[in-house]
């Protein structure tokens, strides 16, 4: 057990850097907190370090409560785990989709985590993170995904402007009604936009729409993805 009581401690400074994308990339480590995410980590990986503020928990790193609270967005008395980040390979666009592949340019960490959890719930074959996406191993993403991010079929893609792949569908208010689509049960690629819309007209040329009440302008991006994946599975 290594005790840490100072913010200037180099190990703590390294841990604190894991709250940022830059630190995660440098160290190839991430911090996991929240009961569901911790359980998922335990199922997937036995090689992690434990962080806590109580000596009787026998953690690998014993922090003061003040330092411990700086490492998690949660007010928790559970452990924080420090674990290696999984490798995220580049997407091979020459391969034909074998299932549903979802492209995410989503920069909000909480939205990204929720979307990845939804993808996992509907057995999406590939989750392609475009350059605009948040780092998938930020604490907020891990928490919101309930730790599923650590076992997700993640791949790296280009930014939206460089995306020249054909036969990608998007969700758009004025697209083909999803219930009329012939995609049900078939492999295809689905591009999600940020809430507020960042997709060009070219990207909407093959689009699907979800029928909602005229009194509501739009649904949030995770609701849209959930409905689409359920309707087309």
**Residue at a domain's end among 52, 84, 116:** 84
Q: Based on the fold, state whether residues 17 and 64 are members of the same structural domain.
A: yes
Residues 150 and 207 in one domain: yes
* pTM for the predicted model, two decimal places: 0.90
Domain shared by 49 and 108, yes or no = no
- The stretch 133-158 carries a mean pLDDT of 94
115 and 32 assigned to the same domain: no
Q: Between 94 and 14, name the one with better pLDDT.
A: 14
Determine, yes or no, domain membership for 184: yes
The domain tally of the chain equals 2
Residue 90 included in any domain = no
Mark whether 13 and 59 lie in a shared domain. yes
Can you tell me the distance from the alpha carbon of 31 to that of 84, in angstroms, rounded to the nearest whole number?
Answer: 9
- Per-chain mean pLDDT for the chain: 90
CATH number at residue 27: 3.30.1330.30
Q: Is 73 helix (H, G, I), strand (E, B) or coil?
A: coil
The reply to whether 40 and 108 lie within a common domain is no
Higher-pLDDT residue of 26 and 170 is 26
Q: Is the pLDDT of residue 195 over 70?
A: no
Is residue 145 located within the same domain as residue 223? yes
Q: Which of 7-16, 202-211, 221-230 has the highest mean pLDDT?
A: 7-16
Residue at 91 is within a domain: no
80/112 same-domain check: no
Q: 233 pLDDT band (50/70/90 cuts)?
A: confident
Q: 65: domain range?
A: 2-84
Structure tokens at 131: 């350059």
**Whether residue 122 sits in one domain with residue 34:** no
Q: Which pLDDT score is estimated for 44? A: 85
Dist CA 167 CA 188 (whole Å)? 8
Q: What is the pLDDT of residue 173?
A: 79
Residues 112, 79: one domain?
no
Whether residue 48 lies inside any domain: the answer is: yes
The whole-angstrom separation of Cα 15 and Cα 24 is 9
Contact predicate 133/106, CB 8 Å: yes
115/204 same-domain check: yes
Helix (H, G, I), strand (E, B) or coil at 94: coil
| 10, part of any domain | yes
From CA 46, how far away is CA 218, in angstroms rounded? 43
Nearest to 115 by CA among 73, 155, 144, 74: 144
pLDDT tens for residues 205-222?
Answer: 578 888 888 777 778 889
- Compare 125 and 164 and report the one with higher pLDDT: 125
pLDDT of residue 179: 87
Q: Where are the alpha helices (DSSP H) in the chain?
A: 10-17, 21-27, 35-44, 65-69, 109-121, 139-144, 221-232
The Cα–Cα gap between 117 and 37 comes to 11
Which of 43-47, 194-198, 216-220, 226-230 has the weakest average pLDDT? 194-198
pLDDT value, residue 196: 47
Q: Are residues 111 and 77 in the same domain?
A: no
pLDDT at 106: 93
pLDDT at residue 165 greater than cutoff 80: no
Rounded mean pLDDT, 12-37: 96
Of 31, 53, 84, which marks where a domain is finished? 84
CATH number at residue 140: 3.40.1280.10
**Is residue 89 included in any domain, yes or no?**
no
Residues of the chain with pLDDT > 90, as a percent, come to 66
Print burial letters for 9-30: b (CB count within 10 Å at least 16), e (below 16).
beebeebbbbbeeebbeeeebb
């Amino acid at each position: 057990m290594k005790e840490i009581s100072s913010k200037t401690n180099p190990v703590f400074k390294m841990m604190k850097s894991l709250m940022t994308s830059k630190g995660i990339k440098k160290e190839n480590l991430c911090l996991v907190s929240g009961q569901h995410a911790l359980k998922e980590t335990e199922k997937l990986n036995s090689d992690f370090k434990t962080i806590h503020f109580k000596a009787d928990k026998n953690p690998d790193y014993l922090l003061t409560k003040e330092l411990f609270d700086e490492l998690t967005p949660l007010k928790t008395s559970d452990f924080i785990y420090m674990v290696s980040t999984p490798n995220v390979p580049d997407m091979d666009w020459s391969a034909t989709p074998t299932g549903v592949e979802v492209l995410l340019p989503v920069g909000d960490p909480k939205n990204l985590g929720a979307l990845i959890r939804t993808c996992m719930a509907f057995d999406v074959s590939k989750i392609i993170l475009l350059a605009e996406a948040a780092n998938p191993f930020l604490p907020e993403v891990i928490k919101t995904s309930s730790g599923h991010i650590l076992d997700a079929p993640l791949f790296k893609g280009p930014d939206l402007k460089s995306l020249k792949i054909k036969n990608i569908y998007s969700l758009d208010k004025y697209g083909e009604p999803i219930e009329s689509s012939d995609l049900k049960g078939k492999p295809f690629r689905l591009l999600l936009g940020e809430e507020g819309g960042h997709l060009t007209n070219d990207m909407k040329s093959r689009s699907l729409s979800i029928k909602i009440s005229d009194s509501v302008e739009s649904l949030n991006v995770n609701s849209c993805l959930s409905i689409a994946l359920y309707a087309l599975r």
